[in-house]
Amino acid sequence: MITDPTLSSTDPKPSAPKAPKVIRITPRPALPIPQSGPVTRAPRPDGLPGTRWIDRLGRPLTDLRISVTDHCNFRCRYCMPKEKYAQNHNFLAMTELLTFDEILRVSRIAVANGIEKIRLTGGEPLLRKGIENLVAQLAALRTPAGKPIDLAMTTNGSLLIKKAQALKDAGLGRITVSLDGIDEDIFQSFNDVGYPAAKVLEAIDFARQVGFKVKVNTVVKKGVNEGEILKICEVFRGTGVTPRFIEYMDVGNANDWRMDEVVPSREVVARIAQRWPVESLSPTAPGETAARWRYLDGGGEFGVISSVTRAFCRTCSRVRLSMEGRLYLCLFASIGCDLRTMLRGGCTDSELETAIGRIWSAREDRYSELRSMGAAPSRQKVEMNYIGG
């Protein structure tokens, strides 16, 4: 006999249905828009038209990273671990996200004031419906000197074959694909949804055929995927694809980061140099995050990003716009300024320009530098899927 646990032993009638569970979403805190304060500007050092916003440490604003969604179809251990982002996780509703017109408006004002590079991130940006339409709008922007912006995207590659041609036709210039291993067991343990590395490699090859310049980002975690470094180099040597090995970072709070899990970039370079002779290269632009290296046999180049062991805060020129319109001044920030309220409250372009200028001009963030000194503030940090990498 099978006993139905919903039935009482003394009453054969079903019990009354339970009231539906009410899920409450706690709004993310936001800083108000500053109503006063200086807007600091400096001429471009190359003599081209226009000025750039400068922060309190003399750093110009030249790069804008835009997260277009907090959704992602992977559950990478260092970003959105499955136990903290379950299937019933409450992502933002579409009405809470910035519209493409709102993103374009912020971007247009930013480009007029010195932004030269825009990178679309997520979550997984290719999950945002119609993303190629936003790409086309951003690709049409021009700097005060009349030059097109450097428009790029970071993706996990799962939807890249489906979207690559449309993105190329829309004007996307560069693509960075996340790939934390070639070995299937290792890669699938990283993304934690069983997605094959072989499919990501296929997507990278397809993007190259479409005409994209492709970089590959690999987060290196001690005891997990150091053995993949040479494999990844081997796969992409001679292809024009540039792998970049990133130190495992304490972005957000969900990944339970520990310093003893970091593989220093110098060890990555040493490991590669034992296999192939290499030499360092000069940065392609001021404020570049990756240190560049090339193989002496002509096999191409690779990069390392040392945000833990060799902080580059002093040259950081990036600002991050979240999918719901918060402006963050640091990857390790805990709170951002609320531009969405301004955008939807009828502000003029001049008011929006002044607000962004004041926010950047007051900036003095240097979290990684302070961490290396043992003086980093102890605080909750915004998660990576919310503002991108």
Annotated binding-site residues read 65, 72, 76, 78-79, 119, 123, 154, 178, 215, 249, 313, 316, 318-320, 330
Q: Three-state SS for 43?
A: strand
Q: Which two tokens stand for residue 372?
A: 């290396």
Distance CA 300, CA 363 (A): 37
Distance CA 337, CA 250 (A): 22
Could you tell me whether strands 318-321 and 326-328 are parallel, antiparallel, or unpaired per DSSP bridges? Answer: antiparallel
Task: Provide the sign of the torsion angle of the four alpha carbons 68, 70, 73, 76, taken in this order.
Answer: positive
Pick from 133, 143, 144, 132: nearest CA to 175:
132
List residues forming the annotated binding site for GTP: 65, 119, 154, 215, 318-320
**Helices (H) and strands (E) in the chain — how many of each?**
11, 15
Q: How far is C-alpha 290 from the geometric centre of its chain's CA atoms?
A: 14
List residues forming the annotated binding site for S-adenosyl-L-methionine: 78, 123, 178, 249
Total number of residues shown for the chain = 389
Distance CA 268, CA 254 (A): 25
List residues forming the annotated binding site for [4Fe-4S] cluster: 72, 76, 79, 313, 316, 330
- Write out the DSSP string of 345-382: TT--HHHHHHHHHHHHHT----HHHHHHTT--------
Pick from 54, 160, 167, 52: nearest CA to 113:
52
